[in-house]
Structure 1
Amino acid sequence: MKLRLDHPVWRRLAPALAQGYVRLLLGASRSSLHGDAAGQVLLQSPDPVIFAVWHCHLLASLYLARLFCRAKPPLVLMASPSRDGEFIADVARRLGFVVFPGSRRKGGFRALKQMAGYVRQGYSVGLATDGSRGPVHVAQKGVLYLARETQVPIVPAAVASSRKIILNTWDRFEVPLPFGRCGLVMGAPLRVSPEDRGEALEERRRLLEDRLNRLFQRSGNLFG
């Protein structure tokens, strides 16, 4: 029997298979930490941070982050309301993350408020900075609003893989392959002042976007 990708049986099985694959990947790969020293210190400290990544690196980067930040509570994520978002949310929960559903309207704002509450309790959060539908590699302002609300630093990050496949999706989602090298590349932390609004906030957005794109380029060249 051939199962379509939208078949209910496949939709139940796929998250468990993806969870097993992620665990296999990290168990059968050599993982390493690279990049900005201050970003690495914040990653490994018990203090809360906001991990900012591009959507194509979301699960791999945050699970790698957990390997290097065992002093922190489980990471908190916000999932998109799409079918892909539901899939990622299911996999993330199985891997030990706390997941909130977002939405294209008010739900996303409510989820940010909920995440801010978790940050104030000492949890770190992770966000796909280009959102659930793009444009690809263009930073949206949700992560900046969260940083301004909580006064917690944003730590940009990217994933480097010596062996990977790139899916034909809007974000060119990267899937690292086992038996290679995986690296988490940290960027310089970025803070958002309570006074950062209007053009000042837009400048912070452009700075974050530039740092993430530089990290993305570096991650692509890290292992040759």
Structure 2
Amino acid sequence: MRPLRNPVIQSALASMMAAWLRFCYATIRWTHQNQGAAEAVWKQGGGVLAVFWHSRTSLAPSCWPLNRAPPIKGVISRSVDGEFLAKAVGRLGIPAVRGSSANKDKGEVDKGGTQALRDGLRQLKVGGLAITPDGPRGPVRSMAEGLPAMARISKAPVLFVGLSCNPAIRLNNWDRTLIPLPFGKGAVVWDVADYPEGADLGDVAAAWTDRITAVEAAADALTGLERI
């Protein structure tokens, strides 16, 4: 049995991970770029989509100040690994919306994507929703039309978040997930957009892919982290 399939082990590891991340967030020297754009969106209140690439998920809670930003939930897959992540992030004050899109090669399989869409739209009426548009399995830094569709339906503003830290551990998985180490440099870079009226979903997905990648690259430049 994989350790993460045991609920007791999973909960213990999630608590350890949350404690580690909290320690790292507190000791990293953070640089914030264009945070005024995020502050303006937060001040408006209501729904907002926070978007970053999946490899930076471990850094995401550090960018959302719970004392002044709208309450936020994160879309996390219903897999075993997703359950572990949901528990860890939940301990950092960010509840989960569970689900992911169906496998493109197995169109009949629904992993909670429809319910996640409904729950996500409901959350966007009152607060923030964090999404990794290339998760949970990639391709890396590739966006389908789901995020633009949600932005179009909800009319919520979109915050693109570039996250970086150095030094860090890179896991040997599909997107080389970044795990922070303490006492290093960190960066958060922001960009903001609204869904263009009448625009094609595919065109918006392509443009937004470039914008998320750009803020992530800018954050890596601030910390000196090598791009992969």
Structure 1 residues 130, 4: closer, same or farther in 2, change over 3 A? closer
1:191 aligns with 2:194: yes
Residues 45 and 127 of structure 2 are in contact (CA less than 8 Å); yes or no, is this contact kept in structure 1? Answer: no
Deviations 1:11-65 (A, max 9, x none): 231101001011111122222311474345325653431011000112312x122
Residue 124 of structure 1, aligned match among 121, 128, 132: 128
TM-score (norm 1): 0.86
Q: Which stretches in structure 2 are left out of the alignment for 5+ residues?
A: 103-109
Structure 1 residues 39, 6: closer, same or farther in 2, change over 3 A? closer
State the AA in 2 paired with 1:184.
Answer: V
Residue 101 of structure 1, aligned match among 95, 98, 102: 98
Residues 131 and 140 of structure 1 are in contact (CA less than 8 Å); yes or no, is this contact kept in structure 2? Answer: no
| Equivalence for 1:25 | 24
Q: CA deviation at 1:223?
A: 2.2
Structure 1 residues 23, 44: closer, same or farther in 2, change over 3 A? farther
Cα-Cα RMSD:
2.2
| Equivalence for 1:112 | 117
State the AA in 2 paired with 1:155.
Answer: L
Q: CA deviation at 1:116?
A: 0.8
1:137 aligns with 2:155: no
Question: Which deviates the most, 48-57 or 24-33?
Answer: 24-33
- Superposed, 1:1-224 pairs within 5 Å as 5-6=3-4, 8=6, 9-35=8-34, 37-43=36-42, 46-61=45-60, 63-67=61-65, 70-103=67-100, 104=102, 105=110, 107-120=112-125, 122-187=126-191, 189-193=192-196, 195-196=198-199, 200-224=200-224
SS at match of 2:179: strand
Deviations 1:144-202 (A, max 9, x none): 12111110111111112121111111111001110112221112x22224633xxx111
TM-score (norm 2): 0.85
Aligned positions, number: 215
State the AA in 2 paired with 1:153.
Answer: P
The separation in 2 between residues aligned to 1:5 and 1:158, in whole angstroms, is: 32
The separation in 1 between residues aligned to 2:223 and 2:94, in whole angstroms, is: 28
Q: Which stretches in structure 1 are left out of the alignment for 5+ residues?
A: none
Structure 1 residues 7, 102: closer, same or farther in 2, change over 3 A? closer
State the AA in 1 paired with 2:15.
Answer: A
Structure 1 residues 169, 43: closer, same or farther in 2, change over 3 A? farther
Question: Which deviates the most, 214-223 or 123-132?
Answer: 214-223
Same amino acid, percent of matched pairs: 25
Q: CA deviation at 1:106?
A: 6.2
Deviations 1:62-96 (A, max 9, x none): x12223x6323331111112222111111111111
